Amino acid sequence: MYIQDTAKKLLERIQAKKQVVDDHRPFPVSVIRRLREDWMLEWTYHTNAIEGNTLSLAETRLVLEHGLTVGGKTLREHFEAINHRDAIVLLEELAESSRDFTVTDLLDLHSLVLKNIDPDFAGRIRNGRVRIVGANFVPPPPHKLDALLDALFSDLKEKESDLQAPVLAAWFHHRMVHIHPFFDGNGRTARLAMNLLLMRAGYPPAILLQQDRKKYFHALNAANKGDYSRLMLLVFQAVERSLNMYLNALPGHYEDYLPLSDIAREPDIPYGQEYLSLLARRGRIDAHKEGRNWLTTKKAVREYQESLGD
């Protein structure tokens, strides 16, 4: 219903990787601590940068890990970093809970996102209309929001048993953004909720990169018209990237993920960098992004080659 054939193959690859991760649980405490520190920093940096926060990754680390302020940055930008970290801590508690995810939980997450930034509306449904610049839809009026949120969480409960977690998380993310229940903080809260659903199903959080900001907004606009393929691909690729972080932490030998330019220079690889980039962007090969660069492995390219019968 929501995904095309290419994305289905990517989803199968994700599930296979998750099974490998699950087979190696429990991870050593030191490994879990390091991975948590890495994705908490990256998640906070990228989700805030998508919304216009100008703290760099290094500056975000200074704020979160050392409690320092950065010259030339606004107080709001500092609060956005601290607040998001606190929201992740609450999210981790919710992920461990066996009870259903509720509207109240969503409001609690939003309350932390806007703490010390907009105290009048932190954790509160908007009571006025909003307009989103660049979006291809008009969010619903405030008098419909309570009913729409109730319907969303009712649909979530029904779909949990039918949809795989990455599909469910991407679907919920879009529906919440489309309802746009808050004056501010909708995107950050939607990405938190998306990852809560993933983590409750045993997946690591999916970090949407600020380098993909335009692609992300285009994907949401396409989903507004009923085409979920772009959003699903973006979320699936983010999930795979996080799973790769876990797999790389496992003991044993794993092929290094290298820049596409390095892979293309290998004498036994028949594809150029541009073609590999196209395959990576479409999810046809096992690849993930670091910054603006795609990384993959020789094994992934060989598997694609074999699938074609080359």
Catalytic residue numbers, as ranges: 180
Question: How many other C-beta atoms can be found within 10 angstroms of the C-beta atom of residue 182?
Answer: 26
Residue type, 102: T
- The residue among 10, 40, 60, 23 whose CA lies nearest residue 238 is 10
Q: For residue 289, give the H/E element and its range.
A: strand 287-290
Region of 226 (left: φ > 0; alpha: ψ -120 to 50; beta: rest) is left
* Residue environment code for 255-290, b if the CB has 16+ CB neighbours within 10 A, otherwise e: eebbebeebbeeeebebeeeebbebbeebbbbbbbe
- What is the dihedral angle through the alpha carbons of 181, 182, 187, 193, rounded to the nearest 10 degrees? -60
Strands laid side by side in the 258-259 sheet: 258-259, 293-296, 287-290
Instruction: Give the long-range contacts of residues 247-251, CB within 8 A, separation 24 or more.
Output: 247/17, 247/20, 247/21, 249/27, 249/31, 249/34, 249/35, 250/20, 250/21, 250/24
Tokens representing residue 94 in the block: 């919710």
Tokens representing residue 262 in the block: 């390095």
Q: Give the max Cα distance, the chain.
A: 63
d(CA 26, CA 22): 8
d(CA 54, CA 43): 15
- The residue among 277, 283, 236, 284 whose CA lies nearest residue 259 is 277
Give the residues across from 287 on adjacent strands. Answer: 296
